[in-house]
Amino acid sequence: MKFQPDTFAGTNAISRHESGAVWVNNQRFEGSLLVPWKGEVRAWSALDLATLTAAHFNEVLALKPELVIFGSGARLRFISAALYRRLIEARIGLETMDSAAACRTYNVLAAEGRSVVAALLPGSAD
């Protein structure tokens, strides 16, 4: 018997992920994406890992999450802490994983009612 719904009203849920596209609340999005637990899903100006800058993480900071799940693309690749220093200074956690795993982890945390943002680079081969 189920005691709680799969999703909560007003919470974004990632329903599907494939190479270069993510479905949030059954709507398809392409490219890099910021998925906040609540509110508008938006395109992220980060194109790929090679061009990622600290300014990209300032976009994430503006969403005021308690935790950020960073999806690094088709495979797990870590970035320099200097890129997300402002998140560290604001005491916002950051976990890095490949984009498919980031989507799954985001859904679990959002369903728990956490203030989480998925910052996703495209999942195509890089």
Note whether residue 72 is domain-resident: yes
Kindly report the pTM of this predicted structure: 0.89
CATH number at residue 35: 3.40.1230.10
Q: What is the pLDDT of residue 7?
A: 52
The count of structural domains within the chain is 1
Q: Which residues of the chain have pLDDT under 50?
A: 1-5, 125-126
Domain hosting residue 116, numbered range: 30-120
3-class secondary structure per residue, the chain: CCCCCCCCCCECCEEEEECCEEEECCEEEECCEEEECECCCEECCCCCHHHCCHHHHHHHHCCCCCEEEEECCCCCCCCCHHHHHHHHHCCCEEEEECHHHHHHHHHHHHHCCCCEEEEECCCCCC
Residue 10 lies in a domain: no
pLDDT of residue 6: 53
Question: Cα–Cα distance between 43 and 120 in angstroms, integer?
Answer: 10
Residue 47 lies in a domain: yes
